[in-house]
Chains A and B, each alone.
Chain A
Amino acid sequence: MDQMTLGLQLSVQGVLLGGIYGLIAVGLSFIFGIMGIINFAHGQMIVLGMYISYWILVLLGIDPYLNFIAGVCILFAIGYLLQSSTVNRILDFPEAMQVVPLVAVGLVLENLILMLWGPDHRSPETAFNLSTIWIGKVMIDGSKLIAFVLAIVLTLGVFLFLKKSSIGKSIRAAADNRTGAVLVGINVNRINNFAFGLGAATTGAAGALLLPLMPVSPHMGHDFTLTAFVVVILGGMGNLWGALLGGLILGLAESLSILMLPPTMKQVVSFILLIIIMLFRPQGLLKGHK
């Protein structure tokens, strides 16, 4: 394969990978945009989504592309309960104390997963596992393409929900001005519960869509959280489309870094990118909250 095709192939892979990164990050960005809270348990929620999807696939034989609904529902419930039991109480805390409980929730989820499913890596067979499409000399991985398209659909869905539905409007109102929202009769706590539930639900979908792409193990959570941080900070905290854009840039950067670095070092590239963006453009590429 000549250098040109290799570059093209890596770019295509980078874009597809970027869509997946966007998918990983949407929920984190959403929750931050609404409540100004960083969900440090984000990655563990994705892993939980993967295991739920895995379980349904193995026990009932339903493919992840259909069974992600289950993960969405379960994680919505978990997010809703988490917000109503814990996060609503810490919204006014100093930042140090906001970080800690969510880190602890991540710890709880990670180890619950470890207890339920054991420490082994698992990679299930699905119908889409090996399907590939060739365009000229460039190979496109079928399951990555589906994940990419669904990432865009999902972001669009969340975006439209926020813009058009009445709950979405209340969520935005509560995010804009909490006191004002209370004054016009919005039950802010319940709206927050719903918002966190929705953010968590996207991680359930992300988990199911990631399942065909990589083997799942209980300790992957931190990696997802960190990737999501990089993506969200690149694109702009709280900006949904920023998450997609940040994902694309990160995907391309990591994919093309293979030309120069060993593949296991690609995360170094993303962390350096993260630090540079935080230092020089902390609001992200698309304007987010700071």
Chain B
Amino acid sequence: MKRLYVFLALLLTILLIVPLFLDKYVLGIFVMIFFFAYIGQSWNILTGYTGHISLGHALYLGIGAYTSTYLAQTYGLSPWIGMFIGGGLAVIISMFLGFLGFRFGLRGVYFVILTIAFAEITRLLVSHIGALGSFAGIFLDFSPSFKNFQFRGNKAYYYISLCFMVLAVIVTRLIETSRIGRFMVAVREDEKAAESLGVNAFKYSMIALGISAFMTSLGGTFYANFIYYLHPNIMFGMNFSIELILRPIVGGMGTVLGPVLGSFILTPLSEISRVYFSKGGLEGLHLVLYGILTVLIVLFMRRGVLVYVKKLLNPILKLEGESK
């Protein structure tokens, strides 16, 4: 385990130095890698650890993006503060969803549909609110300054998103090793058995959902200020919800490093193939490949790629004693 930490520290150092040698385009890809690793990690805390599948996580992303942007445009509030207000709002809504879902015993597919329904209702409501740009969406004004969360070039975004990702990894690791994390895993493995042993499944499901929603929402604010354009069909759309869960699934759900690894595999693939194929008029091809890859990984590497990478690196990192 010690060697793993050294290895990760080494990787982090490389990632901290590397922007000095990269151009804007490559940095942009890295920003997307870190962003999707972060969002995937947030989703992983709920679905990977408690087993409640959310297919509506774009909801929290959209809430974060819209709240901070609205507050910035109307009241001139810095997105740095607005993102925590958005996070709070996301927590409130997720608690309502969680209360309905967990209290009324919606499990498995029914919970999935509940999360989709919440995201879709919000998407439709936002599409009808004039102050939030309704169907047209919101364009963010570009006025770079630290206070406005907007920067020239991609270097600042690179470090911010790297910071987001590292923090998410640390948070997930802390949760995993804490009592709360162990209870969450107990709920995932067998909710009834866990409850019969005195684990309050409702409470720990709610905690996981709250943390997950809060973190996803912070990511939404970042995304808004990186993309500069918000549209309800994109920010709250089901495609985003699908897109953000693929990486943790490919990397390995319920693991600390799975979502990060998944993002490092899939995001460059998606970004490069998007650019490459759209030139040839094959705009959907990268998602076709993506979908096929996901099916194959679920069929043949059910626990994600991370398990195999660990095996591969085992001679160097000496993880054997730790992982079973």
Q: Does B191 count as interface, using CB distance less than 8 angstroms?
A: no
Chain A residues contacting B110 (CB-CB under 8 Å) are 233, 278, 282
Q: Please tell me if the beta carbons of A103 and B288 are within 8 angstroms of each other in the complex.
A: no
Chain B residues contacting A115 (CB-CB under 8 Å) are 282-285, 288
* A99: contacting residue among B112, B120, B295, CB under 8 A: B112
* B288: contacting residue among A90, A112, A229, A265, CB under 8 A: A112
Q: Please tell me if the beta carbons of A100 and B120 are within 8 angstroms of each other in the complex.
A: no
Count B interface residues, CB 8 Å. 43
Q: Please tell me if the beta carbons of B298 and A112 are within 8 angstroms of each other in the complex.
A: no
Q: Does B85 count as interface, using CB distance less than 8 angstroms?
A: no
Between B55, B105, B121, the greatest number of chain A beta carbons within 10 A of the residue's beta carbon is seen for B121
Q: Please tell me if the beta carbons of A90 and B299 are within 8 angstroms of each other in the complex.
A: yes
| CB of A245, distance to nearest CB on chain B (Å) | 19
| CB of B315, distance to nearest CB on chain A (Å) | 30
Between A94, A114, A271, A272, the greatest number of chain B beta carbons within 10 A of the residue's beta carbon is seen for A271
| CB of B307, distance to nearest CB on chain A (Å) | 14
Q: Does B229 count as interface, using CB distance less than 8 angstroms?
A: no
Q: Does B136 count as interface, using CB distance less than 8 angstroms?
A: no
Do A107 and B290 contact each other (CB < 8 Å), given the known contacts A94-B51, A114-B283? yes
**CA gap between A73 and B199 in the complex, in Å:** 51
| CB of B254, distance to nearest CB on chain A (Å) | 10
* B55: contacting residue among A89, A99, A104, A278, CB under 8 A: A99
| CB of B196, distance to nearest CB on chain A (Å) | 20
Q: Please tell me if the beta carbons of A86 and B121 are within 8 angstroms of each other in the complex.
A: no
Q: Please tell me if the beta carbons of B294 and A99 are within 8 angstroms of each other in the complex.
A: no
| CB of B320, distance to nearest CB on chain A (Å) | 27
Chain B residues contacting A105 (CB-CB under 8 Å) are 291, 295
Chain A residues touching B, range: 35 or more
Q: Please tell me if the beta carbons of A96 and B53 are within 8 angstroms of each other in the complex.
A: yes
Q: Please tell me if the beta carbons of A278 and B113 are within 8 angstroms of each other in the complex.
A: yes
Q: Please tell me if the beta carbons of A112 and B121 are within 8 angstroms of each other in the complex.
A: no
Q: Does A149 count as interface, using CB distance less than 8 angstroms?
A: no
**CA gap between A97 and B114 in the complex, in Å:** 18
Q: Please tell me if the beta carbons of B128 and A274 are within 8 angstroms of each other in the complex.
A: no
| CB of B234, distance to nearest CB on chain A (Å) | 12
* B291: contacting residue among A94, A107, A271, CB under 8 A: A107
Q: Does A254 count as interface, using CB distance less than 8 angstroms?
A: no
Q: Please tell me if the beta carbons of B249 and A100 are within 8 angstroms of each other in the complex.
A: yes
Q: SS class of chain A's interface: helix, strand, loop or mixed?
A: helix
Chain B residues contacting A111 (CB-CB under 8 Å) are 284-285, 287-288, 291
Do A222 and B121 contact each other (CB < 8 Å), given the known contacts A100-B245, A111-B287? no
Q: Please tell me if the beta carbons of B106 and A89 are within 8 angstroms of each other in the complex.
A: no
**CA gap between A114 and B112 in the complex, in Å:** 26
| CB of A159, distance to nearest CB on chain B (Å) | 24
| CB of A196, distance to nearest CB on chain B (Å) | 15
Q: Please tell me if the beta carbons of B294 and A104 are within 8 angstroms of each other in the complex.
A: yes
Q: Does A101 count as interface, using CB distance less than 8 angstroms?
A: yes
Contact with A along B280-324 (1 / 0, CB 8 A): 001111011011101100110010000000000000000000000
Q: Please tell me if the beta carbons of B53 and A226 are within 8 angstroms of each other in the complex.
A: no
* B242: contacting residue among A97, A107, A262, A279, CB under 8 A: A107
Q: Please tell me if the beta carbons of B299 and A89 are within 8 angstroms of each other in the complex.
A: yes
Do A279 and B104 contact each other (CB < 8 Å), given the known contacts A38-B109, A111-B288? yes
**CA gap between A279 and B118 in the complex, in Å:** 14
Q: Please tell me if the beta carbons of A96 and B47 are within 8 angstroms of each other in the complex.
A: yes
Q: Please tell me if the beta carbons of A95 and B108 are within 8 angstroms of each other in the complex.
A: yes
Q: Please tell me if the beta carbons of B238 and A222 are within 8 angstroms of each other in the complex.
A: yes
Q: Please tell me if the beta carbons of B283 and A264 are within 8 angstroms of each other in the complex.
A: no
**CA gap between A262 and B246 in the complex, in Å:** 35
Do A229 and B113 contact each other (CB < 8 Å), given the known contacts A97-B298, A107-B291? yes
Nearest-neighbor residue (CB-CB) of B112 within chain A? A99
Nearest-neighbor residue (CB-CB) of A114 within chain B? B284
**CA gap between A22 and B284 in the complex, in Å:** 30
| CB of A30, distance to nearest CB on chain B (Å) | 16
Q: Does B117 count as interface, using CB distance less than 8 angstroms?
A: yes
Q: Does B163 count as interface, using CB distance less than 8 angstroms?
A: no
**CA gap between A86 and B300 in the complex, in Å:** 11
Do A267 and B288 contact each other (CB < 8 Å), given the known contacts A95-B53, A100-B249, A279-B100? no
Q: Does B124 count as interface, using CB distance less than 8 angstroms?
A: yes
Nearest-neighbor residue (CB-CB) of B52 within chain A? A96
Q: Please tell me if the beta carbons of A103 and B242 are within 8 angstroms of each other in the complex.
A: yes
**CA gap between A104 and B295 in the complex, in Å:** 6
**CA gap between A267 and B55 in the complex, in Å:** 18
Q: Please tell me if the beta carbons of B112 and A264 are within 8 angstroms of each other in the complex.
A: no
Between A95, A108, A226, the greatest number of chain B beta carbons within 10 A of the residue's beta carbon is seen for A108
Counting from the closest, the 4 A-B pairs by CB-CB distance are A111-B284, A108-B291, A114-B284, A107-B291
A residues with CB within 8 A of B: 38, 86, 89-90, 93-97, 99-101, 103-108, 110-115, 119, 218, 222, 226, 229, 233, 262, 264-265, 267-268, 271-272, 274-275, 278-279, 282
